[in-house]
Structure 1
Amino acid sequence: MSVAIATRPVPADTAVPAAASAGLTRVDILRDMAAAEPFWRALERGGAFKTPYQAFDFLALWQRHIGAGEGVAPFIVVGFDAAGAPLFLLPFGRRRGAAGLRVVEFLGGKHANFNMGLWRADFLGAVTAQDLDAVSAALRGHADVVVLGNQPLAWAGRDNPLALLPHQPSPSFGFSGPLSPDFEALFNDRTSAVGRRKMRKKERTLAEFGDVTFARATNEQDIRRVTEDFFTQKSARMRAIGLPDVFAAQDVRDFVTAGALTPADSSRLIELYTLSVDDTIVATMGGVCADGRFSAMFSSIVHGRFGTESPGEQLLVRVVRDCCERGLHTFDLGVGEASYKSLFCDADPMFDSYWPLSAKGQAFAAARRGFAAAKRAVKQNPVLWKVIVTARRIKARLMKADKAG
């Protein structure tokens, strides 16, 4: 059999024979979100295997507010069966790198914690490496390298088909855990008696400052207030630890605010949660919810007198309780190591893929593989990582002192 390959709106002249699975007959590359939307929506309606970060509404919003401004153009790969129905969709974008290098990556950038395609349920178990070779063939001539980071090896108990091709471990792990209708049982299972006593003491101490309330922002006024407080808190935190603030740019702030204002099912595309003492928001958390899973995207805490009572951890406990009461089955805290994540989550292996499609791409892929492997070696070495974190904090303090002087 052969798999027909085309790009739209301009068809390519190449057709590449492949020993692909019997289901895959055509691979198209679509150059705009509108062209891909009907196939995307069809897969979503059919319960496609995907993460919340690959939802059409989420990535369309990201492309509108961030991607386009960063020079990313949609480059969406769709595989079809003989009846013309979509089997899978890979939400890629293409950008120009140094020396005109054409780089294909997942849409969503740093704001998509997990990256994966959308796979029709009845095709998921039948995907072969030859099917993915057909994808590579479709991209060849249109890109120099494909760089796919932060991919989960498994999702919702199913293997990720993109792991069929060569890959390497990501620098960091993802973190997720199962929920239970009985939050107290879950909480007792995940924590020690000593830990629970410490947490209750902090709850009591925080309550001494005023009335403590937990809330989900639902109206425009509250959403705008929460996002502004989040941006302020996050900026202060990033300065303190010597890291760049990825939420500082106006286009990113517009994306987060628009996502929090966009309706989705019975909630919002990006859900916002707060813990407040009287009228002061002391902690925030935002995330996306789909298919019975809540995925936290970001969080922040206020600096000052409330910080010693771990308001972020207190908010986390309340968000997880709320997720249990809503009947959700999984909670995740994204990618990247942090001590608080172990409260409700366990480490999940992640992988990165680098597909060179030209001589230029070969050199770039080799360099990126080496860099990512070195980054993983540092991040997974507690001694080395502690040195780097300490150096960042010292640098931040010196910069603050220099500005003050």
Structure 2
Amino acid sequence: MTVATLVRPTIANRADAAAAGPRIARVEIVRDMAAARPHWLALEQHGCFMTPYQAFDFLDLWQRHIGAGEGVEPCILVVFDEADAPLFVLPLGRRRMAGGLKAVEFLGGKHSNFNMGLWRADYLAAVTAEDLRGVFAHLSGEADVVSLGNQPLMWAGRDNPLALLPHQASPSFGFSGPLQRDFEALFDARTSAVGRRKMRKKERTLAGFGEVTFARASTETDIRRVAEDFFTQKSARMRAIGLPDVFAAQDVRDFVMAGALTPTPAGSRLIELYTLSVGDTIVATMGGVCADGRFSAMFSSIIHDRFKTESPGEQLLVRVVRDCCERGLHTFDLGVGEASYKTMFCDPDPMFDSDWPLTAKGRAFALMHRGFAAAKRAVKQNPALWNVVVAARRIKARLTNKKSEAV
């Protein structure tokens, strides 16, 4: 554990700062999840400003099953006030990249859709860019670059404090939307009459194959069966569209399974698994995390057979949103990345990335990374160009699959 004291503001500025709220007294770099846990939970248990992807239990499982194996070392910034209580926690990790470059990133990797710190509510109005620059200065000597991706510009109606520092737009948007108790009213407001008729027709067609059931997996037996079906479906789907399957690795599967089996104080599971089945066959799966009145979808899959023409994924989505409304949740999100089905219940949310060099080697990486992200954003936000990319992936996938079958 590294302990450092932040340079205090001048007396003139300190009076203004004190009037605005609590101030930073010291910063610790914590290199162990267990050592960070008490400070982390002190914030979580008092309703801090955070996303569910920064919950300690979620990232502790990720680090144990995935991060450690990938060489990620916790480099968690814990910031305290003058009463020695945590003001905020930045759940970061250090990773060694190609060429020996060391980068500090958010813990959670590709499995965290939204990245943010954990912020004590009474500090939000007091945080300044100068404060944040002073905190991040403690990473000097720890890495070559700080590279923070997939950060929401706003969360739960509040500004993300890290947006006070230099940043650039992310390649993709996040997608979220408000819920209401009356699902039918929400469904009517978000969809057209033609769209609803098509959906009902597909529901009737799907029901013609057998009894259609919607469920949330609750028992260990059900969770294990649903997770295994998801891995199989996802692998087939990714192969068909020419994308790598991030769930293929055993450590990733262990993380998902562990999250789905871990209970929460609310009586649910850390990762909730939902299914749509026809008879005994699971035709669509969705997994996500639920906290503070918000459901955040992490992943989904559909079966790769005759049922796919009836849009089982969209049918499951409708049922999950209905369930969230009945549970009294206020927000639903479908994570980061563009897809046509996401606009059924969600709207795009701006996201940002931050790349701050700490060494000469880091400056070269930051410049390259920003350029790559800008190019990727230009392609993804241009429908014509993006359609070409998607078509090329599908052609490549068909050729690869034919070659595999021939062998």
Global fold match (TM > 0.5): yes
2:317 aligns to what? 316
Gaps of 5+ in 1: 1-7
Deviation at 1:102, TM superposition (A): 1.6
Provide the C-alpha distance between the structure 2 equivalents of 1:202 and 1:85, rounded to a whole number of angstroms.
55
Deviation at 1:125, TM superposition (A): 1.5
Provide the C-alpha distance between the structure 1 equivalents of 2:230 and 2:379, rounded to a whole number of angstroms.
30
Deviation at 1:97, TM superposition (A): 1.5
Equivalent positions of 1:76-225 (< 5 A) are 76-225=76-225
1:391 aligns to what? 392
Q: Compare 167-176 and 357-366 and name the one that shifted more.
A: 357-366
Deviation at 1:163, TM superposition (A): 0.1
SS state of the match for residue 82, structure 1?
coil
1:245 aligns to what? 245
Check whether the contact 2:175–2:346 (CA below 8 A) recurs between aligned residues: yes
1:299 aligns to what? 300
Provide the C-alpha distance between the structure 2 equivalents of 1:370 and 1:300, rounded to a whole number of angstroms.
32
Provide the C-alpha distance between the structure 2 equivalents of 1:172 and 1:149, rounded to a whole number of angstroms.
11
Check whether the contact 2:43–2:118 (CA below 8 A) recurs between aligned residues: yes
Deviations 1:226-245 (A, max 9, x none): 00000000000000000000
Deviations 1:118-160 (A, max 9, x none): 0000001111001111122111111211000000000000000
Check whether the contact 1:296–1:333 (CA below 8 A) recurs between aligned residues: yes
Check whether the contact 2:178–2:330 (CA below 8 A) recurs between aligned residues: yes
For residue 281 of structure 1, what is the amino acid of its counterpart? I
* Number of residue pairs the alignment of both structures matches: 396
Check whether the contact 1:16–1:137 (CA below 8 A) recurs between aligned residues: no
Deviation at 1:300, TM superposition (A): 0.3
Cα RMSD (Å) of the superposition?
Answer: 1.1
Deviation at 1:338, TM superposition (A): 0.2
Provide the C-alpha distance between the structure 1 equivalents of 2:131 and 2:290, rounded to a whole number of angstroms.
30
Provide the C-alpha distance between the structure 1 equivalents of 2:197 and 2:238, rounded to a whole number of angstroms.
30
Deviations 1:9-39 (A, max 9, x none): x446x86455685411111110000111000
Structure 2 length normalisation: TM-score?
A: 0.96
Provide the C-alpha distance between the structure 1 equivalents of 2:80 and 2:384, rounded to a whole number of angstroms.
49
2:336 aligns to what? 335
1:355 aligns to what? 356
Check whether the contact 1:18–1:130 (CA below 8 A) recurs between aligned residues: no
Check whether the contact 2:147–2:355 (CA below 8 A) recurs between aligned residues: yes
Say whether 1:234 aligns with 2:234. Answer: yes
Deviations 1:94-116 (A, max 9, x none): 01122322210000000000000
Check whether the contact 2:50–2:117 (CA below 8 A) recurs between aligned residues: yes
SS state of the match for residue 288, structure 1?
strand
Provide the C-alpha distance between the structure 2 equivalents of 1:329 and 1:46, rounded to a whole number of angstroms.
20
Provide the C-alpha distance between the structure 2 equivalents of 1:72 and 1:161, rounded to a whole number of angstroms.
25
Check whether the contact 2:6–2:134 (CA below 8 A) recurs between aligned residues: no
Q: Compare 127-136 and 290-299 and name the one that shifted more.
A: 127-136
SS state of the match for residue 229, structure 1?
helix
Check whether the contact 1:103–1:147 (CA below 8 A) recurs between aligned residues: yes
Deviation at 1:214, TM superposition (A): 0.2
Provide the C-alpha distance between the structure 1 equivalents of 2:91 and 2:115, rounded to a whole number of angstroms.
9
SS state of the match for residue 68, structure 2?
helix
Structure 1 length normalisation: TM-score?
A: 0.96
> 1:262 and 1:230, CA in 2 relative to 1: closer, same or farther beyond 3 A?
same
Say whether 1:29 aligns with 2:55. Answer: no
SS state of the match for residue 263, structure 1?
coil
SS state of the match for residue 334, structure 2?
strand
For residue 325 of structure 2, what is the amino acid of its counterpart? C
Provide the C-alpha distance between the structure 2 equivalents of 1:315 and 1:172, rounded to a whole number of angstroms.
24
Q: Compare 209-218 and 20-29 and name the one that shifted more.
A: 20-29
SS state of the match for residue 151, structure 1?
strand
For residue 307 of structure 2, what is the amino acid of its counterpart? F
Provide the C-alpha distance between the structure 2 equivalents of 1:236 and 1:288, rounded to a whole number of angstroms.
24
Check whether the contact 1:75–1:91 (CA below 8 A) recurs between aligned residues: yes
Check whether the contact 1:175–1:347 (CA below 8 A) recurs between aligned residues: yes
1:3 aligns to what? none
Provide the C-alpha distance between the structure 1 equivalents of 2:9 and 2:71, rounded to a whole number of angstroms.
33
For residue 183 of structure 2, what is the amino acid of its counterpart? F
For residue 404 of structure 1, what is the amino acid of its counterpart? E
Q: Which runs of 4+ in 1 moved over 4 A?
A: 14-22
Provide the C-alpha distance between the structure 2 equivalents of 1:284 and 1:403, rounded to a whole number of angstroms.
27
Check whether the contact 2:6–2:24 (CA below 8 A) recurs between aligned residues: no
Identity in percent: 79
> 1:308 and 1:38, CA in 2 relative to 1: closer, same or farther beyond 3 A?
same
SS state of the match for residue 48, structure 1?
coil
Deviations 1:260-286 (A, max 9, x none): 000012100000000000000000000
Deviation at 1:402, TM superposition (A): 1.1
